[in-house]
Each structure stands twice: as structure tokens, then as C-alpha cells.
Amino acid sequence: MTTPEALPVPMKLYKGKEVLDQKALQVEGVFKRGDEHPTFNLFFKQNSKGRQVWNTREMLGRLVEQQRLHNHKPDRRERQNKCRRDQYAKDPSKIKEKNKKWREKNLDVLRENQRKAYRNNPNMWKAHAAKRRKDLNNNIALPKDAMDALRDVYHTRDDLTLAARSAGSSECFHVDHIMPLKPAPIDFNGSIQRPFTGLHAPWNLQILEAKENMSKSNKVLPS
């Protein structure tokens, strides 16, 4: 059986250009814009004589891209983003310090933005959490006493957060891996490598304030 993609597309010369032979493409039926022809063409429109006008996918794609480029004008936001990227390329440390000060001053705004991002796309965050749980569970097999010590660390974290909230503070605490599970890669003799891999075990855990843990990210704090 011949597939639709293998059927020949009828073409003809018109004013020195190779175009579709619309007369040969006429088939019975009623079509709406975007419907497929047996020879992998797309229905474009119906002309004044009532005949179907078909277009190839490639030709239609080029027309759409040309129209998009013609109508596209960089808006204010795109110009601002380009300016920010140029500034970051000149002095990244200055921008990082500026962003850090803004986060410290606008912690409530940052948390509200994170809540909105979660509400708008919860599946992405759930997938990230599921991957994180898988990394933790497959990291190392622990005996029962080590698992009990692991749970105690998290219970202590919860107690500290609850005590802070009871005292009227909005601060919360995180459990941090001293040696990160996936540390930041470094340039070692011209090759990018990860220097070490931490374990999800009680001897590799510490309790930090949330802002300190987020600023630490996947780095190692000085001992």
C-alpha cells in the first residue's frame, strides 16, 4: 500500500516558477483550512470560481515564517532583557550582589511569586519533587539506626520552624546536605567535572535557615 507521503505532488511551471498544479489537485469533498490532501498538501482556501486552493506544508511554513518576521518588532520587554543580558556579561558579580540584596529586602514578594508559579504550573513542581525524592531514595542504603537518626534531623527541623512561627517570626529552617548530592561542576584541567557527590545520610546533614540554605545552593560552606 502506498503511503500518502510517497504519492507524487503534481507541479507545473507558471511564469518561470514551479508551482502546484491546482487543477490536478482537485478532489471531491468539502474542506476547511488546514485539512490534509492525500498527497500531503494543506487546504488553503477556496477561490472565487469555487475551486480548492492547496498548498504544500513546506511552502505554507515558509509563508508563515516570512509573515512572522515581517510583523515582528522587538517590544520594550525584549529590549530590556537584551540590555540586562549585556550588563550581566560585563560584570556578573555586580548583578549577583544586586539580586541578592533585592531578595533579602523583598522576601515576601519572592515567596508570593513562587506560590503563583506553583499554582500556575503545579505539575512541573511535582515532577521536580518526585525526581528529588528518587535521588534521595537511591542515594545510599541505610541501616535502621541510621534511618532513625535521619528522621530525627527532619523532626528537629520541623520543631525549630514551629518554634519560630510560634514566636511570631516568618523564618523557617531547611535540612541541608553539607556535601551536596549534585555539587556545582568545576573546571579541572580544561574539563568540566563534578568534584564529589554527597550522601543522603545523617552525618552529611545540617539544619540551616531557609535564606542561608537557598543562598548556599549546591556549594560547600567553609568549615
**In the prediction, which pLDDT does 74 show?**
65
List, as one string, the DSSP characters of 158-173.
Answer: HHHHHHHHHTT----E
Between CA 23 and CA 175 the distance in angstroms is 72
Backbone angles phi and psi of 20, in degrees to 5: -70, 140
Instruction: Note down pLDDT in tens along the chain; length 223 residues.
Output: 334 444 567 888 888 888 888 888 888 888 888 788 877 788 888 888 888 888 876 666 776 777 777 666 667 777 888 888 888 888 888 888 888 888 888 888 888 888 888 888 888 878 888 887 877 877 888 899 999 999 999 999 999 999 988 888 888 899 998 888 877 777 777 777 766 778 889 998 999 998 888 888 777 766 5
Specify whether the CB–CB gap between 180 and 205 falls below 8 A: no
**In the prediction, which pLDDT does 5 show?**
46
Strands 52-56 and 41-46: antiparallel
| Cα 25-26-32 angle, rounded to 5 deg | 100
**In the prediction, which pLDDT does 211 show?**
84
**In the prediction, which pLDDT does 1 show?**
33
**In the prediction, which pLDDT does 223 show?**
58
Three-state DSSP class for residue 203: helix
Residue with the three cell numbers 507521503: 5
Instruction: Please enumerate, as own/partner, the contacts of 47-53 that have beta carbons within 8 Å and a separation of 24 or more.
Output: 51/22, 51/23, 51/26, 52/22, 52/25, 52/26, 52/27, 53/22
Backbone angles phi and psi of 5, in degrees to 5: -70, -25
**In the prediction, which pLDDT does 33 show?**
80
Backbone angles phi and psi of 137, in degrees to 5: -70, -35
